[in-house]
Amino acid sequence: MKRVVDASVAVKWYVPEPYEQKAGRLLESGDELCAPELILPEFGNIIWKKILRQEITEKEGQRIITESVKTNLILYQHASIIKSAYTGATLTNQTVYDWTYLSLAIMLDCEFVTADEKFYKALEKTKLKRHLLWIGDV
């Protein structure tokens, strides 16, 4: 099965957080995990913030970044999805960043797994629900 994941899910593969076991199961599931290239700077930014908040050390952050590039995540360029991401964002008042992941899931006709509760709740009662999967439901 093919699934799109965002940085809110990927960080749970390395840092103890709510739903980390669900995220780990997803990583070990054998599913084809995909993401737009946007996941790389977003993931790095989350790790950087965790260092600033002293939730992890700089050394742990370096290790996590090094390990993260070894995952079998299939990355997609933005050119094929930016127009639909922009359109979706303007129609729903959600960010282009979040819509980049959802647009990829729509293009690939699969689910987008997220731990971004605000984004998920904003769209869970729309026709887009078939492309959205809350991390807690994995």
Architecture of the CATH domain 2-137: 3-Layer(aba) Sandwich (3.40)
Distance CA 44, CA 38 (A): 10
Cβ partners under 8 Å of residue 28, min gap 6:
none
**pLDDT band at residue 60 under the 50/70/90 scheme:** very high
**pLDDT band at residue 44 under the 50/70/90 scheme:** very high
**What pLDDT, on a 0 to 100 scale, did the predictor assign at position 105?**
98
- Please write the tens of the pLDDT for every residue from 112-130: 999 999 999 999 999 999 9
- Please write the tens of the pLDDT for every residue from 62-113: 999 999 999 999 999 999 999 999 999 999 999 999 999 999 999 999 999 9
Sign, Cα dihedral of 54, 57, 60, 62: positive
Cβ partners under 8 Å of residue 2, min gap 6:
31, 32, 34, 108, 110
- Contact between 9 and 23 under an 8 Å Cβ cutoff? The reply is yes
pTM for this structure?
0.94
